[in-house]
Structure 1
Amino acid sequence: MINNEDAEMLTILDLLDDIQRLGLRHRFDKDIKRALDDRIVSWDNGHEYDIKAEEKLNVTALKFRLLRQHGYRISQDVFKAFMDDEKKFKKYVESDVKGMLSLYEASFLAFEGENIMDEALTFCRTHLNEVKSMANPALSELVSHGLEIPLHRRMVQSDLKDMSRWWTEIDLARKLNFARDRLMECFFWTVGMIPNPQFNQCRQELTKVAAFITAIDDIYDVYATLDELECFTNAVQRWDLKAVDDLPDYMKLCFMALYNSWGDLCKAFLQEAKWCYNKYMPTFEEYLENGWRSVSGTFLLVHAYFSVSQSITKEALESLYKQHNLMRYSSIIFRLCNDLATSTAELERGETASSILCYMYETGVSEEVAREHIRTLIDETWMKMNKDVVVDDGHPFAEPFVETAINLARIAHCTYQYGDGHGAPDGRAKQNVFSLLIEPISLMKSQQQ
């Protein structure tokens, strides 16, 4: 069906979208690419397909989103046909709920500076909120979910048994009883980052890394003295660099990428501990430059690279070593989503620095204005990351790692959407983890018969 030349354009697009929503993209990669190359791109290059007038906006927006998700070039100008002379969307678009929803989802694949996509987001968000209660129940539910968190920022699933056994065997939760016991949440993160079944081993290794990071973060945040932290950080940084002298260049790059990721993480943790100990409020720029490192995103991505990459290239290793923008952007989103959820609790614990507090202190604005500024920064960083994925020579990485980096930002949105779903999960956060990892997917009775 994917490559059926007689199938309608919307049928093909819907099928490709359904495959991705079900988390089955890895099983149909070649078929999806063939369909995009042979049917969707050719349509974009001037080949005509018979599309009903009432479906044109939905088809155009769905095509735009799928092509950008898969790294193809497509201009925002495809939406000019739906705009008037004043560069506003035409009145009739307001009554096309399905088309508006598709356009809304497409707007989250925008690049920075794309004014048409900015207008699309504002227009669709406004009118979808107005009409969601008037649409049919199924479409209304899709609209509500989309407004809550768009498709491009969502994640998809796996299982926990092996990790539970490992966690019990090492007994770290009992030995470090001051630290958070967050194995389930750590595994939830790795499922969000790397959902495809063939990367099971990578998920297990990243779960271990994330569990250790959580414990080390608590050592820096709530337990050790400043002198102890400086000793610990120095110990981490005293890995024997001379041991790599006789290694080939590619192995040196591997070692340095791993060495720097551990060293940078502990240095960033220590910097935050010093700010807290000295009651120092950094500038917003100081905080964010340290914060995207301390949030551990680049650290997780360095470890993930060696597990999801079939071929390891010198160019990619150099980009890991230099912390490529793709890693930096997803980590900034991770940090800012975390701060939106945790800043109140951190202030109560006596921690002086978060992006929200630093921005309030520096500019004199209210907390709500500061939070809105952080949300805007998150949107702008998504646009930068979208562009890096699509533009030629934007990165040297293979698709599995690129998707992992994007998924890091997605799982950050998911985890911190309603509060601190990792550090202090409430009932809703725990239910999210439970429903994804423990409860089976329920089927309708008619489907089971």
Structure 2
Amino acid sequence: MALSRACFSCSQQQFPPVRLSRSISRSNFQNSISRSIGHDKCRDAPYQAVASSPKESSPLPNGLDNFTDCFESLHARTLREVRHLVGKVEKGSLESLLMADALQRLGIDYHFEEEMQSLLREQFFISTFDGHRASNNSLHEVALCFRLLRQEGYYVPADIFEDFKKNNGGCAFDPKLSKDVFGLMSLHEASHLGTHGEGVLDEAADFTRTALSGLADKFLYVGNNHINGMSSQLLGELVRNTLSNPIHKSLPRFTSKSFEVYLKGHYHYEWTGAFRELAILDADLTASINQTEIQQISKWWSDLGLANELKFARDQLLKWYFWPMAVLRDPKFSQERMDMTKPITMVYIIDDIFDVRGTLDELTLFAEAITRWECVEELPDYMKTCFRALGGITNEICLKAYKKHGGNPTDLLRKSWANLCDAFLVEKRWFTSRHSPSADEYLNIAIVSTGVHLAMAHSFALLCGGTNKQSLQALNSFTGMSASIAKILRLWDDLGSAKDENQEGHDGSYVDYYMKENPSCSLEGARDHVKEMISDSWKSLNRECLFPHQFPPYMAKASLNTARMIPLMYEYDENHRLPRIEEYMKSLLLKRSA
């Protein structure tokens, strides 16, 4: 039901807090991650943790204390060099766009927020002054500019691409574009920023997908020739990566390595070497911060004692931390990442109480207690234990929000827990009574039971605070964004449930209920319908992220990162493991310069 219902597993083994070690080898840590990420089909067997707390025998690499003054000096010097290079680029030029794109793809753009805003604001003024016309610019430049501006919230009309259709505004894109591989990749990337009603971007997605698929096969099998200074093999891999991991729907840290290769082989500017060096140094710094956070949050989890008292529930601290780690990637949000791990942990624990342990009567009483925020005597002991932990976490977050922002989000957070438990209870009643809801009825409740609304409310409290009229208006405008993310998560979850989990109706899924309402629809047809719904939800999310909106830009970025991370949680291999999460965790937590 909750954030990642599909990743359910109950760990019977208790793990001690993470201990950092200076002597751990890269291979030992890789094996530790691989062992800790897995998935079992059946919910009635002993489960292996999807991403459990690291075992004492497999400690993490060094933390921040392992960095020397020499490293810090090198990082600071490289940062100054890159800032100088960014500052002297000609605004409005193609090079400035390529530079902004590289900063984002390498995941180091947070260092240069003011510079990035200045570059893109100037580009937006130029584009607006020109009437958003393609003029004589190349497809690559127009599409890159469109994507960068929309990613930052600037509205650029999609009909700018009509100029690239046959006979300037015909019914189809000019076939001559099929030979422009870099223009096609930029156009394909831009097509993922579409909103509802922008048919030209839907056409662009279809056109570029077909053309790039053919080019990828051609480049990969023509031998080691060179095209525009890049080997055909490398170019083919780059094209395939563009199709499978579009930048707008991927986490920068997950795609940065492939882009570094592209940057080295294709961008012949003086700044490419410094950019790559900063990305590598920054990844090491970020990894060490994440390792230190894991150590601290592990101590909190051990001291809390829920793993010992609620043995039926999941013990997957590394996975729970993985959400805020990927979503709030700026190092300055270190404390917020650790704080957000705590309510996310409770979402999973309470989900297990509803799914695994509680009777319907007990769960009804528990949901009522959460609504009143009163731990009544009639609750079973394990529910009292959970309630006390939840109360302590909520009070802690409210106090931090009050000290930092001046507002008291207590009512907001308590209501979000009540709404979540009410949704869990509805689903439990359906299952107990064998009720089969309509697909829409199921989805309306399932969107709430993802826990996304609750997580976003806690993020808002920690990052924005306030309960005055202005902040509440901002939160209300943020609700549409969280609803789109929740829908994406639930539908991705249900695609995995239907194909990979063999749950046999334990939780149900949108795919199941849709097929019951449409008996003539095949499984593949139902899955295609769900994928189209996910695409529509992305369009809604894209629209919510455009200016004007009342919430800070970093909330929009955090929301997009949440949506970007969702597919990583549901791509199981034949062994019911999550290899992309393993690889992503390694890329973040292993020091790349080692």
Is TM more than 0.5 here? yes
The match for 1:123 is 207
- Paired residues of 2:196 and 2:540 also in contact (CA < 8 A): yes
Question: 2:363 is aligned with what amino acid?
Answer: L
The match for 2:567 is 413
Deviation at 1:306, TM superposition (A): 1.9
Question: 1:441 is aligned with what amino acid?
Answer: R
CA distance 1:78–1:4, shift in 2 (3 Å): farther
Structure 2: distance between partners of 1:346 and 1:275: 20
**Range with bigger deviation, 343-352 or 169-178:** 343-352
SS in 1 for 2:415: helix
- Paired residues of 1:309 and 1:400 also in contact (CA < 8 A): no
Matched, 1:220 2:354: yes
Structure 1: distance between partners of 2:555 and 2:327: 10
CA distance 1:277–1:419, shift in 2 (3 Å): farther
Structure 1: distance between partners of 2:576 and 2:546: 35
- Paired residues of 2:139 and 2:187 also in contact (CA < 8 A): yes
Matched, 1:375 2:531: yes
**Range with bigger deviation, 185-194 or 336-345:** 336-345
Structure 2: distance between partners of 1:29 and 1:407: 17
CA offset digits 1:105-161 (Å, max 9, x no partner): 110100111011000000111111111133323332222222223111112375122
- Paired residues of 2:191 and 2:204 also in contact (CA < 8 A): yes
Structure 2: distance between partners of 1:32 and 1:335: 34
Deviation at 1:169, TM superposition (A): 2.5
The partner residue of 1:19 within 98, 103, 106 is 103
Structure 1 segment 3-402 matched on structure 2, within 5 A: 3-4=87-88, 6=90, 9-46=93-130, 56-85=138-167, 86-135=170-219, 136-155=232-251, 156=253, 158=287, 159=290, 160-239=294-373, 254-309=409-464, 314-318=469-473, 320=475, 324-344=479-499, 348=503, 350-364=505-519, 365-392=521-548, 395-402=549-556
CA offset digits 1:353-373 (Å, max 9, x no partner): 211111111112222111111
Question: What is the RMSD computed on CA atoms of the aligned residues?
Answer: 2.9
Matched, 1:431 2:582: yes
CA offset digits 1:54-78 (Å, max 9, x no partner): x711111110000001111101122
- Paired residues of 2:324 and 2:341 also in contact (CA < 8 A): yes
**Range with bigger deviation, 210-219 or 371-380:** 210-219
**Range with bigger deviation, 80-89 or 11-20:** 80-89
Structure 1: distance between partners of 2:510 and 2:132: 50
Structure 1: distance between partners of 2:510 and 2:122: 46
Deviation at 1:289, TM superposition (A): 0.7
- Paired residues of 1:341 and 1:416 also in contact (CA < 8 A): yes
Structure 2 gaps of 5+ residues are 1-84, 220-231, 254-285, 375-401
**Range with bigger deviation, 347-356 or 1-10:** 1-10
Deviation at 1:436, TM superposition (A): 3.5
Structure 2: distance between partners of 1:66 and 1:323: 22
Structure 2: distance between partners of 1:198 and 1:142: 32
Structure 2: distance between partners of 1:388 and 1:146: 24
Corresponding pairs, count: 428
CA distance 1:311–1:220, shift in 2 (3 Å): closer
CA offset digits 1:304-337 (Å, max 9, x no partner): 1122227775233245368721111111111111
The match for 2:46 is none
Structure 2: distance between partners of 1:133 and 1:169: 54
SS in 1 for 2:138: helix
Deviation at 1:216, TM superposition (A): 1.1
Structure 2: distance between partners of 1:425 and 1:434: 17
- Paired residues of 1:253 and 1:318 also in contact (CA < 8 A): no
- Paired residues of 1:301 and 1:327 also in contact (CA < 8 A): yes
SS in 2 for 1:28: helix
Q: TM-score, normalised by structure 2?
A: 0.67
Deviation at 1:166, TM superposition (A): 2.0
CA offset digits 1:255-299 (Å, max 9, x no partner): 332122101101111111111111111111111111111000011
Question: 2:494 is aligned with what amino acid?
Answer: D
SS in 1 for 2:461: helix
Question: 1:137 is aligned with what amino acid?
Answer: Q
CA offset digits 1:213-255 (Å, max 9, x no partner): 1111111112211111111111101127xxxxxxx9x999833
The match for 2:395 is none
Deviation at 1:434, TM superposition (A): 3.3
- Paired residues of 1:257 and 1:320 also in contact (CA < 8 A): no
Identity score, percent: 30
SS in 1 for 2:217: coil
